[in-house]
A = this chain, B = another copy of it.
Amino acid sequence: MKLNEQELVKKLTEREITDFYFAACGGSLNDLYPAHYFIEKESRRLHSTYLPARELTLTDPPRWNEHSVTFVLSHSGNTPEVIEAARLAKQNGSFVIAISHDPESKLANPDLYDVFYTYEWDEKTSQQDVPMGMELRILNEYLHQTEDTYQNYSQMLAGLGKIDQIIANAEKYQLPAAQKFAQKYRKQDFMYILGSGAARSQAYGFAICSMMEMQWMDCAFIDSAEFFHGPFEVLQDDKLFIQCVNVGKNRVLDTRSRDFIQKYHGQIEIIDAKNFGMEDIDDAVVDYFNPFVFYKMGVLYRDQLALKRAHDTDFRQYMGKVDYSYKSIFS
């Protein structure tokens, strides 16, 4: 089903909702973070919990009940941890919003959800119609209809209308730098990726999905806010850092680590969302649009590295190739 957020929110408002849960794995978990972050920063009454799907299932917290909404997301629709979380969510009485690219997948089972949305995944699909956009559309509508104090409704809608152009700008602006980076660092063994705020999970995804999974490169994510509290002691002139720089409230976290790495001669690749036209988005909500940009930047750098390293981004040694199944709580 295609998302109509007004219809969905009408259903949600029939219930007394106090809690939102966001459960997935890997790249899909990262795509749920901006929605969790949005609730944490905007809502005056909702609780939000963001966890790897199987930790949520195994620990089954007491508030995961009929007063909750659970988002589960799986691109393939077949991730066992996500299927399991959806099943337990339903059993607990939670309202389950399931999202997948595949309308024929295991997740497309009415026992597992209250609503099931699919999305296209190609170059021409708007960011409003992929999971990060869909989630923010839902939550923007929900806060608008349920919290009088929520003031950012129209700014969010306007931002969602601008993000495709900003992404296009970003891909064009950053391409030469990404090509140069791939040529220079094609033999790099290891690097750090820094980011913060709403974009934290996409900077982490840059490390674990784009680099570790799709290039088999060792990589570590460090929150820019944490850099000065331990991690910076490894900084030397042979260390490589990719610094994601947000626009918005957390920008100063990123510029502080950027400036320090430059001052002490670290090798640094700076990807600054300021260069991509983000000033067109209202200051009150611009934070929430950084994740869209940094997801695409992970893809851009990954693809350029793939070309110079002759490492196809679809090549896997374990994922989907060998057995790593586990015993579900329902088996």
Task: Give A residues with C-beta under 8 Å from B.
Answer: 25-27, 29, 40-45, 47, 49, 52-55, 58-59, 61-63, 79, 81, 149, 189-190, 196-197, 205, 207-209, 212-214, 216-223, 225-226, 228-235, 239, 249-250, 252-253, 256, 260, 264, 287, 316-319, 322, 324, 326-327
Please, which residue of chain B has its CB at the minimum distance from the CB of A264?
B318
Minimum C-beta distance from A317 to chain B (A): 6
**Cβ–Cβ contact B252 & A58, under 8 A:** yes
**Cβ–Cβ contact B229 & A27, under 8 A:** yes
Minimum C-beta distance from A92 to chain B (A): 13
Of B43, B49, B52, which contacts A223 at CB under 8 A? B52
Please, which residue of chain B has its CB at the minimum distance from the CB of A326?
B256
**Cβ–Cβ contact A213 & B225, under 8 A:** no
**Cβ–Cβ contact A260 & B324, under 8 A:** yes
Q: How far is the CA of A49 from the CA of B189 in the complex (A)?
A: 36
List B contacts of A252 (CB < 8 A): 58, 326-327
Give 28 CB contacts A-B under 8 Å: A25-B225, A25-B228, A25-B229, A27-B229, A41-B59, A42-B62, A43-B62, A43-B63, A44-B62, A45-B63, A55-B250, A58-B249, A58-B253, A59-B287, A62-B149, A190-B190, A190-B218, A205-B230, A207-B220, A208-B230, A212-B234, A213-B230, A228-B324, A232-B319, A233-B316, A233-B317, A233-B318, A252-B326
List B contacts of A287 (CB < 8 A): 59
With A59-B197, A62-B149 already in contact, the answer to whether A222 and B234 are too (CB < 8 A) is no
Please, which residue of chain B has its CB at the minimum distance from the CB of A147?
B62
Of B26, B225, B318, B319, which contacts A54 at CB under 8 A? B225
10 more contacts with CB within 8 A, not counting A53-B225, A212-B230, are A25-B229, A26-B230, A27-B229, A27-B230, A29-B229, A44-B63, A52-B253, A55-B196, A58-B250, A79-B229
Minimum C-beta distance from A298 to chain B (A): 11
Q: How far is the CA of A322 from the CA of B233 in the complex (A)?
A: 11
